[in-house]
Amino acid sequence: MEQCKEGGAAKHEIVISDTSGRPPVSKDSVVDLEFGDPTMYESFWKGMGDRGTITIPSWQTISYFSDATNLCWFLEPEFAQEIRRLHNLVGNAVTEDRRIIVGTGSSQLLQAAVYALSPSDAPEPISVVSAVPYYSSYEPLMNHLRSGLFRWAGDACTFKGDSYIELVCSPRNPDGFLSQAVLKSDGGKTIHDLAYYWPQYTPITGPADHDIMIFTFSKSIGHAGSRIGWALVKDTAVARKMVKFLEISTIGVSKVSQIRAATILKVVSDSYENPIPGNQDKVFAFGRHLLANRWKKLREIVEASGIFSLPEFPSETCKFTGETAEILPGFAWLKCEKEGIEDCASFLRSHKIIARGGRFFGAEPKFVRVSMLDRDETFDLFIERLSSIR
């Protein structure tokens, strides 16, 4: 009987391994923390049991269209609703009078936003800038197709000119600081990349209220593999051009992923709005607790080493939790202070630690960015290996 059951199940189900993706680490492994792969959230979601599980029959989401009456016709209405609900709960972004645009992760939305803000009739591509240290993906995102509409122009702080698009990443990837636009000109535009503006990483100081704000499912609650991001956009014409970009490049965004994102954001909001006393089901609290622990360990090792240093952050009141909270970035922006070592990434690589070197962020090679979001086993091995460096 049991065999029949198993046979029947196997017939229609695809079995996905528990820890699909990167192989688990062993004592001798290279510790790869180059990417911000948010696998630390796996243990949280495992603890949630069947909450957030999706079941989708084969006849659903066949059409390209989610809502033909919406400007963003490929946006699942239930997902839009859960996005507004979550921002209202957390208080990290204004959603009133904003169009919601869904993208295949925030990278695609960054391109869509830059495309939408680029003048179509300019003789030269518009300059896209961001203050150093800037997110390492901005440059390839802007330059890989050698667009005649826009081009990467590097550090916003040294940029001269009135016509530009400034990418403002806050909290900033790689260094974690809350940041603001550095350029101010009537001809300039800004795009706010708020991937990390969530209460596990930073005190929420108030609802962000910018023209274009971009968020991602990946960093907010850990679901990178679903490739879902969203933008809150004030201007309808800009929103329409963003939709056009997404329409041309991928004819919309996976509806299956959107349904999953809606389901999971709903679980998150439910856990705060209808709390079960004593239940460990709050993802932001989980993230904050784990990151606080990791940052404590890392700061101890770094201090004891005498070789490295880390940024120091002020504490502020988080309006979401009501508590004083420090900044706990998803990345450690580690500086090698040891004399004679100019290239921190190479130095760490010789100790079998892979991190992304400062140059990718427009900064000195004395810096590296180390992901703080990996699985426990990887983080623990990183700490162990770092502590052995003399």
Side-chain half-sphere CA neighbours of 69 within 13 A:
1
Q: Choose the stretch contacting a second copy; rule: CB under 8 A; options: 257-265, 298-306, 355-363, 379-387.
A: 257-265
Considering only residues 309 to 328 of the shown chain, the ones binding a second copy according to CB under 8 A are none
Minimum distance from residue 128 beta carbon to a second copy (Å): 13
| Separation CA 28–CA 338 (nearest Å) | 25
Q: Which is nearer to a second copy, 35 or 272 (CB)?
A: 35
Q: Tokens representing 288?
A: 């904050």
Element (H, E) at 344: helix 344-349
**Shortest spacing between CB 179 and a second copy, in angstroms:** 23
Could you give the dihedral angle defined by the CA atoms of residues 296, 332, 215 and 285, in that order, rounded to the nearest 10 degrees? -10
Decide: is 56 part of the binding site for a second copy (CB under 8 A): yes
User: Which two structure tokens, joined as six digits, stand for 47?
Assistant: 């603890």
Q: Which is nearer to a second copy, 68 or 339 (CB)?
A: 68
Residue 331 phi/psi, 5-degree rounding, is: -130, 145
> Which one of the spans 205-213, 224-232, 340-348, 379-387 is the region binding a second copy (CB under 8 A)?
224-232
Pairing of strands 31-32, 229-233: unpaired
Binding of residue 266 to a second copy (CB under 8 A)? yes
Strand order in the sheet with 308-309: 308-309, 331-336, 367-371, 356-357
Query: Does 237 sit near a second copy (CB under 8 A)?
Result: no
Q: Cis peptide before 38, with omega less than 30 degrees from 0? A: no
Stretch that binds a second copy, among 43-51, 190-198, 285-293, 314-322 (CB under 8 A): 43-51
Which one among 255, 335, 369, 385 touches a second copy, defined by CB under 8 A?
Answer: 255
d(CA 136, CA 360): 5
Q: Identify which of residues 223 and 335 has a Cβ nearer to a second copy in the complex.
A: 223
- The verdict on 189 binding a second copy (CB under 8 A) reads no
Torsion of CA 241, 143, 180, 214, to 10 degrees: 40
Count of residues interacting with a second copy (CB under 8 A) = 85
Q: Measured from the CB of residue 82, what is the shortest distance to a second copy in angstroms?
A: 8
The Cα angle at residue 93 between residues 245 and 261, in degrees rounded to 5: 60
**Of the residues 29, 61, 95, 179, which one makes contact with a second copy according to CB under 8 A:** 61
Q: Does 269 bind a second copy (CB under 8 A)?
A: no
CB closer to a second copy out of 104 and 130: 104
User: Of residues 136, 190, 220, 257, which one binds a second copy by CB under 8 A?
Assistant: 257
- Shortest approach of a second copy to residue 261 CB, angstroms? 9
Q: CA 11, 16, 17, 19: dihedral to nearest 10 degrees?
A: -170
The candidate with the shortest Cα–Cα distance to 135, out of 284, 35, 217, is 35
CB of 172 to a second copy, least distance (A): 19
- State yes or no: residue 378 binds a second copy (CB under 8 A): no
In angstroms, give the least distance from the CB of 200 to a second copy: 15
Q: Which of residues 143-172 bind a second copy (CB under 8 A)?
A: 144-149
C-beta of 130: minimal distance to a second copy in Å?
16
Q: Which two tokens stand for residue 178?
A: 């809350």
CB of 186 to a second copy, least distance (A): 25
